[in-house]
A and B are shown apart, each in its own frame.
Chain A
Amino acid sequence: GQQVMQIPQYQHVQEGEDFTTYCNSSTTLSNIQWYKQRPGGHPVFLIQLVKSGEVKKQKRLTFQFGEAKKNSSLHITATQTTDVGTYFCAGIPQGGSEKLVFGKGTKLTVNP
């Protein structure tokens, strides 16, 4: 079946360090979305990437969509304690049933 793999599963950083999570799909994606889930909370939409090679920035967060539209990354510069949570990527496979396929997520903890 269609899978979206996400690594690492866990990441512990010191406040101020950078953080990156990677997402890889077994099939080409129409688009990719990123969500953040705070501890005890629910997933909240961050951004969507649609075009091959697309790069988008939100303050300290940089999102990339690969040229082949099979991989994506989220990079956080100079992490803060408010960045704590689990970051999920989710993609819609091309030619598929139009349902979002979620990665397992990367759980980020930030030590102050």
Chain B
Amino acid sequence: ETGVTQTPRHLVMGMTNKKSLKCEQHLGHNAMYWYKQSAKKPLELMFVYNFKEQTENNSVPSRFSPECPNSSHLFLHLHTLQPEDSALYLCASRTDPSYNEQFFGPGTRLTVL
């Protein structure tokens, strides 16, 4: 266990559904990340939050909407997704400075039908 939890671990949704992924870190870190991991592709950074402020939006489609209510919690709200959005969604956190190691959660395996 890395101290970063994600729920749900598995999610199957239709293209018209709305769902949310949750990430929680118990490490006292100030930065949190969302990554997408698809087969045969590098880990793709989606969003970065530092002290609850979004500092990076890596050209992610608007059907993915992040929310960071405090430095321990991070959400990814999903709506009208496409089948190609099926992937493993990983949350990570780290403490400053920015080059410190990232601690990953177990991920949510998302399937869009």
A: residues with CB less than 8 A from B are 4, 30-31, 33, 35, 41-45, 48, 50, 88, 90, 92, 97-100, 102-105
Contact = CB atoms under 8 A, between A and B. Distances in A.
Given A42-B90, A104-B41, A104-B42, A98 B98 contact: yes
Given A42-B106, A48-B99, A50-B99, 17 more contacts: A31-B99, A33-B101, A35-B104, A42-B2, A42-B90, A42-B104, A43-B43, A43-B104, A45-B103, A88-B42, A99-B45, A99-B48, A99-B58, A99-B98, A100-B45, A100-B102, A102-B43
Contacts, number: 48
19 contacts: A41-B106, A42-B104, A42-B105, A42-B106, A42-B107, A43-B90, A44-B2, A44-B104, A48-B101, A88-B42, A92-B98, A99-B56, A99-B58, A99-B98, A100-B45, A103-B42, A104-B41, A104-B42, A105-B42
Interface SS of B by simple majority:
loop
A88 B99 contact: no
